[in-house]
Amino acid sequence: MKIAIDAMGGDHAPQAIVEGVNKASKQFEHVTFLLYGDKEKIEKYLDDSNKENIRIIHTNEKIESDDNPVRSVRRKKKASMVLAAQAVKDGEADAIFSAGNTGALLAAGMLIVGRIKGIDRPGLMTIMPSLSEHKDSFLMLDVGANADSKPINLNQYATLGTYYAKHVLKRNKPTVGLLNNGTEENKGNELAKQAFSLLKENKEITFKGNIEARTILNGEVDVVVTDGFTGNAVLKTIEGTAISLLSLIKESIQKDTKSKLGGLLLKDGLKNVKNVMDYSKYGGAVLFGLKAPVVKTHGSANSEAVYYTIKQIEEMLSSQVVNGVVNFFETSNNGDSNKN
């Protein structure tokens, strides 16, 4: 098992990337980590005690955060992200991971790794924390790969999410909900209404109907499907709200002596809230629907977030979830029918 890693992508690269790999390499000794980037800079942060399953592929070129996504992938052939994607295409690696330019990684996934036959548009899928006592997380896609979607895209996202929930999250019978502005069947715009009809007829999923944004954190379903524009807005709203609330709570308990005493009494409870809402522990966002795992984590990711993203990729590869999706879509008519 080999994972190609863009060591130069992200706000804190290569330090955060390499330190995350150091931790992961000790736990996953069966995985070979291919680090693409500036060898001298990468070696500064490598743990000397464990280099047996880490290889560096040197390159001075990288894709910057403000580079044009498609143009940079096509022109910067020696960029660390492009070389990592090419390694996956050539069979030298099984997955690619980057904390760099999101648009460029999506372009590299589509143009180099390639989509699965039968998938109209791959979707960006993320694992979100759930506040339910019965499940700790749920999936949401698309969260940003496609701003404009068709009903067939949302229907395929439901099938993709169901496969992931079954084989990676180990959910026995994953349920699917369509993100909408109401729970009634006739709610929403034309995209939502047409998608609802397709989802209701999809025999590969357990469709529970529409779900509102205000209840998705309650763990009502295992997979939430939506278009990329809406999904990205909801994702960033949830992340921003969580960060703001935690900051507000911290400020409140440090306000005066009485508040500090109360904070000490609530310390364990507040720590639990922070752990639940720490999205970095759930891994990165997967561009699902490609021939291999293409995974993106936040540009501001620290070494812990990098570690958890690698852990997620190892679980994906071990479960062979992508192979299952390839087999389903390439041997059926699901990608060619109901193209509304």
pLDDT given for residue 329 in this prediction? 84
DSSP letter for each residue of 166-219: HHTS--SS-EEEEEESSSSTT-S-HHHHHHHHHHHH-TTSEEEEEEEGGGGGGT
Position 226, amino acid: T
Predicted confidence (pLDDT) per residue in 146-169, tens digit: 889 999 999 999 999 999 999 899
Q: What's this model's pTM, rounded to 2 decimal places?
A: 0.85
CATH 3.40.718.10 fits 1-119+289-340, yes or no: yes
Q: Three-state DSSP class for 97?
A: strand
pLDDT given for residue 19 in this prediction? 94
How sure is the predictor about 36, in pLDDT bands with cuts at 50, 70 and 90? very high
pLDDT given for residue 280 in this prediction? 63
Yes or no: say if 290 and 115 are a contact pair by the CB < 8 Å rule: yes
Which two structure tokens, joined as six digits, stand for 30?
């069966």
In this structure, which topology does domain 123-281 adopt according to CATH?
A: Isopropylmalate Dehydrogenase (3.40.718)
Among 84, 94, 32, smallest CA distance to 322 is for 94
Same fold, 1-119+289-340 and 123-281: yes
Residues 6 or more apart in contact with residue 38 via CB below 8 angstroms:
7, 8, 14, 58, 59, 60
Q: Where are the domains of the chain?
A: 1-119+289-340, 123-281
Helices 321-330 and 151-167, packing angle to 10 deg:
140
